[in-house]
């Protein structure tokens, strides 16, 4: 089953998108901010992520950048 992470600081948006995706047969992981997203991605990366850009504390761009850096570091470690 495909796992999609939905990240949004607006609960109504988060729940609505999750409900729609679940009704289409996807497994959905929700996160309400960048910190929670990074913790969940570190534990088990999703197949796809829908990421809100305008969030307080940590923007979507910063979250994406942190994930890319983490992936790059993992790749460097795996090669060595």
Q: How many whole angstroms separate alpha carbon 45 and alpha carbon 67? A: 10
Q: Is the pLDDT of residue 78 over 70?
A: no
Q: Is the pLDDT of residue 73 over 80?
A: no
- How many CB atoms are located within 10 Å of the residue 21 CB? 17
Residue scoring higher pLDDT (79 or 18): 18
Q: Which residues pair with 51 in a beta bridge?
A: 7
Print the domain residue range for 9: 3-79
Q: How many whole angstroms separate alpha carbon 80 and alpha carbon 45? A: 22
Q: Report the pLDDT averaged over residues 1-21.
A: 98
- The total number of structural domains in the chain stands at 1
Report pTM: 0.87
CATH of the domain at 45: 3.40.50.2300
Phi-psi bin for 22: left (phi > 0), alpha (psi -120 to 50), beta? alpha
Per-residue pLDDT reduced to its tens digit, 17-72: 999 999 999 999 999 999 999 999 999 999 999 999 999 999 999 999 999 998 77
């Amino acid at each position: 089953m495909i796992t999609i992470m939905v990240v949004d600081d607006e609960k109504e948006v988060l729940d609505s998108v999750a409900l729609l995706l679940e009704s289409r047969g996807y497994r959905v992981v929700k996160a309400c901010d960048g910190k929670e997203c990074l913790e969940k991605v570190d534990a088990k990366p999703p197949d796809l992520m829908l990421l809100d850009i305008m969030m307080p504390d940590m923007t979507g761009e910063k979250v994406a950048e942190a994930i890319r850096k983490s992936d790059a570091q993992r790749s460097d470690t795996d090669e060595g």
